[in-house]
Amino acid sequence: MKLRIIILSYLLCTFVSADEYRYDLMVTTGLQERVFDEEGKATMVSFSKKSNAKALFILSKILRLGGISGTKDGVLWRGVPFEQAILIKGELDPKVLRTGSAANTAEAEDYQEFTLEEVRVRFPISRHREGKVFDTGYLETHFSFATLFPDGLIFEGQEVDFIKHTAKSK
């Protein structure tokens, strides 16, 4: 009986239930993806192969637009306040892994595997864009997926329902 209790306790401590995190893609030579929990603690992550394919697809399409990478909260870009609330839901594996390191590569760093289940965007979301004149830029503010993806998105032959991937405003 004690063995069952110990095993059950271990399993409950090892596997974390799905939680919501803020997503941020950093521009760096090492690991680039991190999540912030509700207390604002940052964790470097690598997405698990068990992640939801549709959620990964939507996240990658958002990031490929350029100028959107997610933020921990409101930030300044060239002195202008903006926010990019990309919310992801999933499981953060408590096991801490470490990247390899070699000459001419990024330093070794800790990370955890994240199993992505769902991705949502809180609108409005600002997208920073570079201007056509040296050292200029501007922010586009989007109030829905309709302006980010005017032609919609197709995943495995079906149109993505953006309502399911829109988070309620604060």
Tell me the pLDDT band of 66, cut-offs 50, 70 and 90.
Answer: confident
Residues 122-132: what's their mean pLDDT?
Answer: 85
Q: What is the pTM of this model?
A: 0.81
CA angle 49–39–67, rounded 5-degree value: 60
Picking from 91, 88, 23, the residue whose alpha carbon sits closest to that of residue 54 is 88
| Range scoring the smallest mean pLDDT among 36-45, 48-57, 131-140 | 131-140
pLDDT digits (tens, 9 = 90+) for 71-92: 888 777 778 777 889 999 999 9
CB 170 within 8 A of CB 122: yes
Residue type, 106: A
- Of 5-9, 40-44, 67-71, highest mean pLDDT: 40-44
pLDDT at 73: 81
Q: Between 101 and 65, whose confidence is greater?
A: 65
Residue-range domain boundaries for the chain: 2-167
Tell me the pLDDT band of 65, cut-offs 50, 70 and 90.
Answer: very high
Picking from 55, 54, 61, 68, the residue whose alpha carbon sits closest to that of residue 25 is 68
pLDDT at 31: 85
pLDDT digits (tens, 9 = 90+) for 14-29: 344 479 999 999 877 7
pLDDT at 11: 37
**Matching residue, tokens 């926010």:** 83
pLDDT at 3: 39
pLDDT at 167: 93
